[in-house]
Amino acid sequence: MFKKFSTEEVSAQNQVKASVQRKIRQSIADEYPGLEQVLEDLIPKKSPLIVAKCQNHLNLVVVNNVPLFFNIRDGPYMPTLRLLHQYPDIMKKLQVDRGAIRFVLSGANIMCPGLTSPGGSLDDEVGAETPVAIMAEGKQHALAIGFTKMSAKEIRDINKGIGVDNMHYLNDGLWKSGYIVALATSLSFAAY
């Protein structure tokens, strides 16, 4: 998703109306109850919230020049990795084995065997079409944000093919442009 992402792909970025801001905030609060107590710090009601619309129907939620969440069309909001690193427990986690790390970091989707091998691990509560944190064997921090194509149980049973789509990973365009987006946003016209 973000492999070649750059600020050039931001086709429009606008400060959203208060009603839209409330809606986004509520969606995020519903999806990430673990953030309840820090939500006001992350997305202060009074700070402007900017939505950067990018190619492929991707939206970035930017507050105080920091991209915090993204979603596709009206899909669920997913945190950026920098945010997830700060609050690692807000998402369910799946773990890939060490051998899969370099593939994930080059943007590949996550194959079932990388999750079912001894170095991997699955959370059985994870259903299909769910945002998840992708952790790695022997590492403390997440290396990617994924969106499951099948449930954890199916990943275990089927055990082949793509189990999780790789949405955002360390050193992809969004990771690298974190600050650039921030800069571009601060320079953009604060439209309505």
Instruction: Kindly tell me which residue out of 12, 18, 38, 158 binds other proteins, with binding defined by CB under 8 A.
Output: 38
Q: Give me the least distance between CB of 39 and other proteins, in Å please.
A: 10
DSSP state, 5? -
Per-residue x/- mask for other proteins, residues 132 to 171, rule CB under 8 A?
-------xxx-x--------------------------xx
| Contacts of residue 95, Cβ cutoff 8 Å, sequence gap at least 6 | 115, 119, 120, 121, 122, 134, 135, 136, 137
What letter does residue 108 receive in the DSSP assignment? P
Any contact of residue 93 with other proteins (CB under 8 A)? no
Taking alpha carbons only, the member of 27, 63, 67, 68 closest to residue 48 is 63
Cβ partners under 8 Å of residue 39, min gap 6: 25, 28, 29
- Please, which of residues 103-132 interact with other proteins by CB under 8 A? 105
Binds other proteins (CB under 8 A): choice among 19, 37, 74, 189: 37
Cα–Cα–Cα angle for 105, 185, 10, rounded to 5 degrees? 60
Residue 59 or 177 having the CB closest to other proteins: 177
Binding site for other proteins (CB under 8 A): 34, 37-38, 41, 85-89, 101-102, 105, 139-141, 143, 170-171, 175-176
